[in-house]
Amino acid sequence: MVLPISRLYLGDQMKRNSRSAIVFFLVILITICLFMHFTLLILKYPLVGIEVEKVQGKWIIEKIYDNSWANKNNIETGSIVTLVNGIDPAKHQTVVNFKMVEMADSITITGKNSEINTFAISYHDLDLQLIVYLVMPVLFVIFCFFLSLLLYYRKGEESSVQRLILFLLSIGLCYLSASASARTDLTGRITTNITFSGSIVLFIHFLKAYFTGLQLEFIKTRSIKLMNLCYFIVISILLSSLFYVKLYALTKNIELGFVCLLLIFLFTLFARFYFRYKKAEVGGLLKILWVTFFIAFSPFVFLYAIPYIFLGKGLLSAEITAGFLLVIPLAFVYLQLAEKLFDIEFLLGRLRYYSLLAVPFTVVLTIILAWSLKIRLNSGSFYFVLSILFTGSILFLYIKEYTDYKMKHHLFSQKNEFETNLQLYHFFQKAKHSTKVSDFISSLINEIKEVLSVKEVYYVEIQASEDEGIWIVCNKNDYSSDLVSEIEKINWKKVKAGSLLEVRNGFCVIVEEDYQRKNIIFCGLKKYKTDLNIQERIWLETIAYFSSILVENFQLIEGLFQKIEYYKEKRLEEKENYPSWLSKLLFALSEKERANLSNDLHDTVLQDQLQLLREIESIYNKVTDPSLKEALFMVNERLLDNIHLIRETCNELRPPFLKELGLIQSIQNLVNKIKLRSNFILYTELDHSIQKLDPEYELALYRVIQELLNNAIKHSEATEVSISLIKKKQCLMLSYSDNGIGIHMSKLNDSFKTMGISGIKERITCLGGRIKMESKPNDGFNVLIELGLGEM
């Protein structure tokens, strides 16, 4: 029953992957064509930046844009445009359609004093315009393009990744097309109108798919539909304005207003989502996304959109503030590909601290630069310099901290260098693989010899005698009589671990002790019989103190191993249960190994199988021989079954989203999977009033139910199985029954050799629960479990 379902599902998946590959190719092709069109257009035509109005048959300059060619060449408002490209302005397309002088090679202007000047329009002395309107957008698009290719190559089959790719290409095209739109290019304006707000819509679609993959609901379907409807209405209005110039100024505010509303909607959704799941396992991920959103969108909203709506002019240009959107693709590519996420709490704490340090410095320095360069305090240039200096200061502090860490982290101590922290790092890096006290002591002796440049280092055991204050050296024959005499002169009773004592021919320091016994390290004098200096003394005392702690821990671990071996032998001989603490430990280790094995299977075998599947599909599409195609198809089907089996195995090894979904929903998901691959009728009764339990209880109950159902599939030969989990006051009641072939209770397996029925008993017993099992051959199998919750 499993194989046809998996083949059908994965066969449909292959078709979807094929369609997505075609769509991806078309999207990339369109992106490349638009990229080339916009780049060539911007490169050919500088931004003239002149708005005109026809008054009494003359085209009067009404407005000059900042950072434009006209502004750079001191063209004044009120002047008359007499010729564009040597012809009447009324015949120039941009003047007729948009009342703007753009995409021109030359322009003739009659000034206020009736002087006539003809200008050749070029990028001469327009280095800033080239950087802002061409270089930055082109680099942005290229970066987004290659990120998209990387994402598609790594995880192109996932729906969330496909939406992320569309978002990346959308914001890239939006950034570049804005420059073409400013030159009144119709394709550029259409692209900008579609992608400006459309990129945010795509971003919300991506978040929905991304969190759906984590089995979390980010936005309801009806909200998505309403958002899409509003988007298409606004886009229709914006596109219609392209053919009615008088509506353009009004629709500009409509577009910015709609974008601001979308951003508010996005932040509202995310704030609600964050406060709902911030304490779950995805809490760290949500904090990263929260910071990403703020950094990416806040400059555009607060420094351009809001000032433009209310003041008619942004504090910074849209091109500069849009550059912060680059944070979004960087963050999400990291989240999609990284196996891992950084400590956001640490970085946020550092950000607050570094911001406090950077604020006074950047404000004072920006004011000094503004005064020296004659920059107005309320101008866009002032805020631009302030933003750059503030961001640069914070980045500098981060880089400094990271550089200090990396350099100190790898500065292994050499001879005669005794900075305590570096020396300790050096030693414990070499000794971290020790598992026995003897191995660690050997490493410690070698370290002392290397660092202090001494030849004689001994590990001496001393024991208290019956006479008060007298300590005797064990194995006296191993050491010189002078050393034994020196050590036995000392009353070691009051000497603590890490204390350094000087004797005639060297130094002694305790690294292990109890009431009646102490182990010390004797260190002889250095070469040329010189005394230890202060730094050497501090180092030796410190390393001895920390070594004493490690030795004590090693002894505890060795004692634990001995106890485990003792209980193991006792159980084999007397058939007793393990102590509850040992059962918990072994089950915890078992779960850890299961999780590791699941990760290894998912990251290695499963990925190799998926790559092999893609290669077979590629070969299949190239082959024309019908018999060979049929053989490849059968191989492909078997491979699909293996992929399905590996995924199921990973899920069985590690319960998926048990913490996020809760116990009841996780069990329901397990039951649904069992129903698909079992041959019996499964009846379930799950008490949905059971909410948050101790994670140890949740995992144990999930594993017990999983094991019971797996045994039912493999061994019971039952036609009907029932299972229920209910809560009665402060007690959980789990019952299981089937009408299968039953089992001899005396044939149960050892719980730690196989995860059998006896393992279920072991799990429940170590949690203080009670379990009753009844079964006879050909009479089914029944289990009743009671698990007290105490004060939970």
Question: In this predicted model, what pLDDT tens digit does every residue of 422-463 receive, in sequence order?
Answer: 666 667 666 666 667 777 778 788 877 877 777 788 888 888
For residue 626, the one-letter residue type is P
Q: What is the largest CA-CA distance in the chain?
A: 123
Fill in the amino acid letter for 174: C
How many angstroms separate the CA atoms of 54 and 373, rounded? 38
Measured in whole angstroms, the distance separating CA 557 from the mean position of its chain's CA atoms is 35
Query: Is the separation of the CB atoms in 773 and 761 below 8 Å?
Result: yes
Q: Are 27 and 166 in contact (CB under 8 A)?
A: yes
Average pLDDT of the residues of the chain: 76
Does residue 345 have a pLDDT over 60? no
Q: How far apart are CA 638 and CA 609, in angstroms?
A: 11
pLDDT of 310 > 60? The answer is: yes
**Cα–Cα distance, 132 to 381 (Å, whole number):** 13
Predicted local distance difference test score (pLDDT) of residue 340:
42
What pLDDT does residue 361 have?
Answer: 84
At residue 60, what are phi and psi to the nearest 5 degrees? -95, 135
Q: Does residue 415 register a pLDDT over 70?
A: no
So what's the pLDDT on residue 578? 56
CATH dotted code for 48-120: 2.30.42.10
Say which DSSP state 754 is in: S
Tell me what percent of the residues of the chain surpass a pLDDT of 90. 1
Tokens 């061994």 -> residue: 715
Q: Which of 234-238, 619-623, 782-786 has the highest mean pLDDT?
A: 782-786
Query: For the ranges 293-302, 480-489, 576-585, 655-664, which has the lowest average pLDDT?
Result: 576-585
Which pairing describes strands 500-503 and 506-513: parallel, antiparallel, or unpaired?
antiparallel
Cα(74)–Cα(387) distance, rounded to whole angstroms?
A: 28
Listed in sequence order, the DSSP H helices in 221-282 are 221-241, 248-277
> Is residue 755's pLDDT more than 60?
no
Does the fold of domain 655-792 match that of domain 48-120?
no
| 745 backbone φψ class: left, alpha, beta (φ>0; ψ -120 to 50) | alpha
Lowest mean pLDDT among 536-540, 548-552, 745-749: 745-749
Distance CA 19, CA 65 (A): 45
Residue 357 in this model has a pLDDT that exceeds 80: yes
Q: Give percent above pLDDT 70 in the chain.
A: 75
> What per-residue confidence (pLDDT) applies to 164?
82
Q: Enter the tokens of residue 789.
A: 């919750």
User: What pLDDT was estimated at residue 66?
Assistant: 75
How far apart CA 220 and CA 222 sit, in angstroms, is 6
506, 542, 513: which is closest to 427 by C-alpha?
A: 542
Considering the four listed CATH numbers 3.30.565.10, 2.40.110.10, 3.30.70.100, 3.50.50.60, the one that applies to the domain covering 655-792 is: 3.30.565.10
Burial class, 708, CB count within 10 angstroms (exposed 0-12 / middle 13-18 / buried 19+):
buried
pLDDT greater than 60 at residue 466: yes
* Residue 222 pLDDT exceeds 60: yes
pLDDT at 545 over 60: yes
Q: Is the pLDDT of residue 771 over 70?
A: yes
Burial of 647 (0-12, 13-18, 19+ CB in 10 A): middle
For residue 113, the model assigns a pLDDT of: 78
Q: Which of 45-54, 131-140, 246-255, 392-401 has the highest mean pLDDT?
A: 45-54
pLDDT of residue 754: 38
What does DSSP say about strands 681-686 and 720-728: parallel, antiparallel, or unpaired? parallel
Residue 650 Cα distances to 361, 601, 715, angstroms? 53, 7, 22
Residue 790 reports pLDDT greater than 80? no
> At residue 287, what is the residue type?
K
C-alpha closest to that of 756 among 741, 772, 745: 745
Angle between helices 327-337 and 136-155 (to 10 degrees): 20
How does strand 80-84 pair with strand 58-64? Answer: antiparallel
Amino acid at 587: F
Q: What is the mean pLDDT of residues 304-327?
A: 73
How distant, in Å, are the alpha carbons of 658, 664, 730, 735, 737 from that of 727?
A: 19, 12, 7, 12, 18
For residue 7, what pLDDT is reported? 47
Cα 423 to Cα 429: distance, rounded to the nearest angstrom: 10
Interval 101-117 mean pLDDT: 85
Higher pLDDT, 751 or 499: 499
User: What is the distance between the alpha carbons of residues 728 and 749, in angstroms, rounded to a whole number?
Assistant: 31
Q: Could you give the C-alpha distances from 69 to 66, 73, 558, 607, in angstroms and in order?
A: 9, 6, 80, 54
pLDDT at residue 180 is higher than 70: yes
Q: What is the mean pLDDT of residues 58-84?
A: 84
Q: In this structure, which amino acid lies at residue 616?
A: I
pLDDT-wise least confident of 223-232, 371-380, 449-458, 745-754: 745-754
Answer with the residue of higher pLDDT: 281 or 10.
281
Q: Is 85 left (phi over 0), alpha (psi -120 to 50) or beta?
A: left
Beta-sheet strand order (sheet of 80-84)? 100-101, 50-55, 58-64, 80-84, 106-110, 116-120
Task: Please report how the helices 136-155 and 2-44 are oriented relative to each other, as an axis angle in degrees rounded to 10.
Answer: 170
Task: Measure Cα distances from 164 to 167, 260, 272, 298, 330 in Å.
Answer: 5, 21, 22, 21, 11
For residue 526, give Cα distances in angstroms to 450, 494, 566. 11, 27, 47
Average pLDDT value for residue range 518-527: 77
Identify the band that residue 411 occupies on the pLDDT scale cut at 50, 70 and 90: very low
Write down the pLDDT at residue 417: 44
Q: Which fold has domain 420-557?
A: Beta-Lactamase (3.30.450)
HSE-up (13 A, CA, CB side) for residue 575: 4
Residue 1 pLDDT level (bands cut at 50, 70, 90): very low
pLDDT at residue 377, as a whole number? 72
Please tell me which residue, 52 or 281, carries the higher pLDDT value: 52
pLDDT at residue 662, as a whole number: 79
CA 671 – CA 656 distance, rounded (Å): 13
Q: What is the pLDDT of residue 740?
A: 87
* Span of 59-63, 488-492, 645-649, 728-732 with lowest mean pLDDT: 645-649
Span of 32-41, 588-597, 613-622, 623-632 with lowest mean pLDDT: 588-597
The mean-pLDDT minimum among 221-235, 313-327, 457-471, 670-684 falls in 313-327
Domain ranges of the chain: 1-46+127-250+264-303+321-328, 48-120, 420-557, 655-792
CB atoms within 10 A of CB 169: 25
Give Cα separations from 616 to 22, 571, 603, 619, 625 (angstroms): 18, 52, 20, 5, 15
Tell me the CA end-to-end span of the chain in Å, nearest whole number.
42
- Residues listed for the chain: 792
Instruction: With H, G, I as helix, E, B as strand and everything else as coil, classify residue 756.
Output: coil
> Would you say residue 87 has pLDDT above 80?
yes
Contacts for 562 with CB less than 8 Å, ≥ 6 apart: none
User: Comparing C-alpha atoms, which of 494, 484, 440 is closest to residue 462?
Assistant: 484
Average pLDDT in the 585-608 region? 67
pLDDT at 580 over 60: no
pLDDT band at residue 544 under the 50/70/90 scheme: confident
431, two tokens: 């000794």
List phi, psi (to 5°) of 728.
-120, 105
What is the average per-residue pLDDT within 122-149?
77
